Amino acid sequence: MSGVQQPAAVVAEGVDMDFGTGAAMAVKDAGFALGRGRFLTILGPSGSGKTTLLRMIAGFQTPTRGQILIGGKPADAVAPHRRSVGMVFQKLALFPHMTVAQNVAFPLKMRRFNPAEIAGRVERYLELVRLGGFGARRIHELSGGQQQRVAIARALVFEPELLLLDEPLAALDRKLREEMQLEFRRIQKELGVTTINVTHDQREALVVSDEIIVMDQGQIQQHAAPAEMYRRPANPFVAHFIGVSSFLKGRRSAAGIEVNGIDCAGQAVADLAPGVACLGAIRAEQIRIAPAGAPLPGCDTVVQGQVTDIVFEGERLLCFVTLPALAAEVQIYHHDPAGLDQLAKGASVSVGWTAGDLLIFAADKG
């Protein structure tokens, strides 16, 4: 029946993990639902609980409280090695004494697939990861990126319902890592396999994901689509962790936030009473910059500042600018190719932004 709603691929309900060491819980009251065929990235700094949450989904650890459902059934109802779950870890654990084809065939043999079908299936998945013709090679004969592709093929060859990725790209150099991020996205979209990826790399999360969960100190801070999370972070932690943001400390005002006696236009993320302590957050690419006295049309707030440092990033400059009137420093991306040489350390500048670009949050009571 087409009208029958399928259960979510993965559901976490009030999940805690307490290792009993006296430290804070590794995961606290985690809850989310992931639809079939979706690509979710769990993002956060070291120690945020993201890997512990993934290990509970994989069945390697049992929650202290709450439950995890896979395909509508409790995850711990099936032994980990019998679940329809493929995994790729940072340490790929490929068998060096086996050929590429033998590595990919291994999970099929363990699951007692028809021997007559194994060779054809292995070749199809090697083609999928663009390693057609590499089946006879040994693992040590492959580059790091090629070894990564073998691990992906091995995790997918038995057509699992769920693919789990635990920072598999962390050991690669930047260029190769960015290439493999696009490969992960291509393969996942082609197969439609439900995927959960764990990383601390914000670019990776934005590039590959349909949905992102940001964690900190064991708690889910926000669960949203990449564009929504980037443009509408739920709190200052998310605004700081994803992208480059600058923060202004002040109090809620009619226009937005009063900083050091100056009313700065902005929009509050939630209802904030006038006069309460708050933080204004603004992305580096949303701040306009021009030589001192030059007009900044369209800006709702314009203040004067001084460039304290400039970092050359190729296609853009990252400018650090102090704003004495606001007792603050902001970071600004300057993309104008014609103006890359017009700014210098020590230069006086005007900076500005629109009210819609300055997001206002309640200040952390801690």
What are the chain's domains? Answer: 10-231 (3.40.50.300), 245-362 (2.40.50.100)
Alpha helices by DSSP H, listed for the chain, are 50-58, 100-110, 115-128, 144-156, 174-191, 202-208, 226-231, 236-241
Is residue 226 within 8 Å of 247, Cβ to Cβ?
no
Give per-residue pLDDT as tens, 251-275: 999 889 999 999 999 999 888 899 9
| CA 137 vs CA 18, 72, 98, 147, 363: distances in Å | 45, 41, 9, 11, 57
Q: How far apart are the first and last CA of the chain?
A: 52
Nearest to 102 by CA among 80, 142, 134: 134
pLDDT average, residue stretch 290-314: 91
The encoded tokens of residue 116 equal 């007559």
> Nearest Cα to 105, choosing from 96, 117, 93?
117
Confidence of residue 365 (pLDDT cuts 50, 70, 90): low
**Mean pLDDT, rounded, of the chain:** 90
340 half-sphere exposure, CB direction, 13 A CA radius: 11
93-125: per-residue pLDDT in tens? 899 999 999 999 999 998 889 999 999 999 999
Q: What is the pLDDT of residues 76-88, one digit of tens each?
A: 777 766 778 898 8
Q: Is 90 helix (H, G, I), strand (E, B) or coil?
A: coil
- Chain length of the chain: 366
- What per-residue confidence (pLDDT) applies to 5? 58
**pLDDT by residue (tens digit) across 118-140?**
999 999 999 999 999 999 999 99
Mean pLDDT across the stretch 308-334?
Answer: 92
Name residue 297's amino acid: P
DSSP letter, residue 52: H
**pLDDT-derived band at 231, boundaries 50, 70, 90:** very high
Give the residue among 65, 57, 66 at the shortest CA–CA distance from 8.
57
- Percent pLDDT > 90 in the chain is 68
Which residue reads 């800006």 in tokens?
Answer: 299
Per-residue model confidence (pLDDT) at position 1: 41
How far apart are alpha carbons 314 and 272 in whole angstroms? 40
Tokens of 105: 């065939």
**pLDDT at residue 2 greater than cutoff 80:** no
**Could you tell me which residue, 18 or 335, shows the higher pLDDT?**
18
Report d(CA 29, CA 25) in Å as an integer: 10
CB–CB of 31/58 below 8 Å?
no
